[in-house]
Chains A and B, each alone.
Chain A
Amino acid sequence: MQSIEVLKKLEKIFREVFDDDSITINRNTTPYDIEEWDSFEHVNLFMAIEQEFGIRFSLEETTKIKSIGEIVDILEKEKMMKENLKGS
């Protein structure tokens, strides 16, 4: 899964969670860029991301991730690990 594809999926999740179709995101987007992105919505976001991508973030990851790029990196790393497991 390419970054652009992950970003598109994440953007859809962000639009749904914040109920705002005008939201656009990129790797550098942080909570400072989206007014409604607070600690409350942060948890909702990660629950939605976990559901969409079929993964579980650790508590440490959810509390330390502070940009879209960091989320994308974790999702891609997880994808690679799954592919490697399939191949072995």
Chain B
Amino acid sequence: MIIKYGCVSLRAIEEKDFELLFYLINAPEIENATVGWNFPVSHVAHKQWMENFRNSFNSIKFMVELINSNTIGMVMLENIDWKNRTAEFGCKMSASPKDRIKGDMLDAIRGMLKYAFDELGMECVHGAVLENNIFSRKISKQAGFIEEGILRKRIYKEGTYKNVIAVSILKEEFVEEKGRSKRHC
């Protein structure tokens, strides 16, 4: 099922997403702003990954497509724990302002949370943001995530150990922003 929320659709990864995903996995400015890391990924390796990728019981990845048909990034639920009903949220985005719609990523996050709570039956969605990534911290708060605490010097990037903020949102805390689609899209 394609998930629609506000001005975004969350859809499966398609062949046409190759270049965007290749950029997202290799771009230094994205890796430096997020907690994850990768060795450089070649075109061949990326092609193989795309051919073999399937959403699974413990990992779901959706592309974020806007109502203007532009695809701006990806949202994920990883480490899905079906017994304890928890999942780890992640997202990556890259697009120029002219291709975007204000509030698009917030819609994408909320859309994924609604899917996690209302369709998958999750009780808690958690995540991690770098302490110095102001925009990630702001948008996670806007989406309803609560900052649970600081994981000290947990991630090593650009020559320094960085603090990580652990965030989470419970099903009962998730509030949809009613009428958003009318205001922004």
Contact = CB atoms under 8 A, between A and B. Distances in A.
B68 interface: no
Contact of B135 (A31, A44, A59, A60): A31
A63 interface: yes
B96 to A, nearest CB: 7
A41 B134 CA distance: 13
Contacts of A40: 97, 100, 102-105
Interface residues on A, range: 10 to 19
Q: Which of B29, B100, B102, B134 has the most CB of A within 10 A?
A: B134
Contact of A60 (B29, B100, B134): B29
Contacts of B33: 63
Interface residues of B, number: 16
A63 B33 CA distance: 8
Contacts of A31: 134-135, 138
Contacts of A60: 29
B97 A30 contact: no
A29 to B, nearest CB: 12
B97 A63 contact: no
Contact of B32 (A32, A44, A47, A63): A63
B59 interface: no
Contacts of B29: 59-60, 63
B145 to A, nearest CB: 15
B71 to A, nearest CB: 16
B132 interface: yes
Given A63-B29, A63-B33, A32 B97 contact: no
Interface string B127-168: 000001011001100000000000000000000000000000
Interface of B: 29, 32-33, 93, 96-97, 100, 102-105, 132, 134-135, 138-139
The 3 closest A-B pairs by CB, nearest first: A39-B135, A31-B134, A63-B29
18 contacts: A30-B134, A31-B134, A31-B138, A32-B134, A32-B138, A38-B138, A39-B93, A39-B105, A39-B135, A40-B97, A40-B100, A40-B102, A40-B104, A40-B105, A42-B135, A43-B97, A59-B29, A66-B134
